[in-house]
Amino acid sequence: PAGLPNTGPVAPPADNGIDNTTGLARELHSDGLQALQFFLDRRTNPLVSTSALLRLAELVLTLNSFQFNDQFFEQISGVAMGTKMGPSYACLFMGHLEHLVWNSYDGPLPSVYHRYIDDCIGITDMLEADLSRFINFINVFNPAIRFTSHISTSCVNFLDITITLSTITTSVYYKPTDTHSFLLYTSSHPQACRDSLPFSQLLRLRRLCSEDDDFLDRAHEMLDFFRQRLYPENVLTSAMHRVQLIARQEALSHIHRTPKSDRVKLILTFHPHSSLVKKVL
């Protein structure tokens, strides 16, 4: 997603009545729209025409304006933060890019390659010189995309896990910019919301850490993060006790919850006295 760095002040209308920045935005999104067309044309049951969907996507991508510091801006590059189609658009863009790279590169390719949106991981037995050539090739293939890479024969970080290659074990990974700024316990949020956070984060560690000793070390580290956010010891102790009763395989299992279709929901803005509404309804 792009923010202020990829925006520019709205230009005055051109002679033809079309905003110059809107035209530039269309040009910058041309590769993305080509990617959408590439996959939309391969649908087996196109209920809506490709041209109609492309036009709607173009409107979403190019008509984003906002006000900042008493000036109006129009976003000319990237995808507006919070746009619902953003993750799908990124996946399709990268999928199309991979298709083009795989069909145009004349050297050896990674033997294993996987991607989650725009984070990639691969395994290869090619020479380091060949791998560097491949990385350089994909970095100049499209001017809008730049890859950062880490090559290792011992361990690699992917998303929020560290994978140790010699034993194929996993542990949690935090980016250097992660400040662990969890919700303050004194924040005006529902009690259940605050009390559930330590358990949910410890359960996440239970899934990510493949070794029990490593899980315990990272769990105690996590509890210290919550202590810094003023969480009481009884909440932390209870969360730790609950998670320790869950085996890792059980934590990794999908839990199917049947929705309560007959339940009528009343959604209100939170207030410390909101619980009193229950006594009225």
The string of pLDDT tens digits covering residues 27-56 is 568 889 999 999 999 999 889 999 999 999
The string of pLDDT tens digits covering residues 142-192 is 888 888 888 888 999 999 999 998 888 999 999 999 999 999 999 999 899
pLDDT number for residue 255: 81
Q: What is the mean pLDDT of residues 190-214?
A: 95
3-state helix, strand, coil in the chain (%, to 5): 45, 15, 40
Count how many Cα atoms sit within 13 Å of the Cα of residue 25 in the half-sphere of its side chain. Answer: 29
Q: What percent of the chain has pLDDT over 90?
A: 58
Ranges 132-136, 225-229, 252-256, most confident: 225-229
Calculate helix-pair angle for 86-104, 128-141, nearest 10 degrees.
130
Domain spans in the chain, listed from the N-terminal domain onward: 4-85, 88-172, 191-252
Report whether 183 contacts 229 (CB < 8 A): yes
The string of pLDDT tens digits covering residues 63-86 is 888 888 999 988 877 888 888 888
C-alpha separations of 85 from 40, 77, 234 in Å: 14, 15, 42
Q: What is the mean pLDDT of residues 95-104?
A: 94
81-86: long-range contacts, CB 8 A cutoff, minimum separation 24: 81/1, 81/2, 81/3, 82/1, 83/1, 85/57, 85/60, 86/1
At 16, is the pLDDT very low, low, confident or very high (cuts 50, 70, 90)? very low
DSSP conformation class of 142: -
At 43, list the tokens.
């649908």
C-alpha separations of 77 from 25, 138, 155 in Å: 6, 21, 35
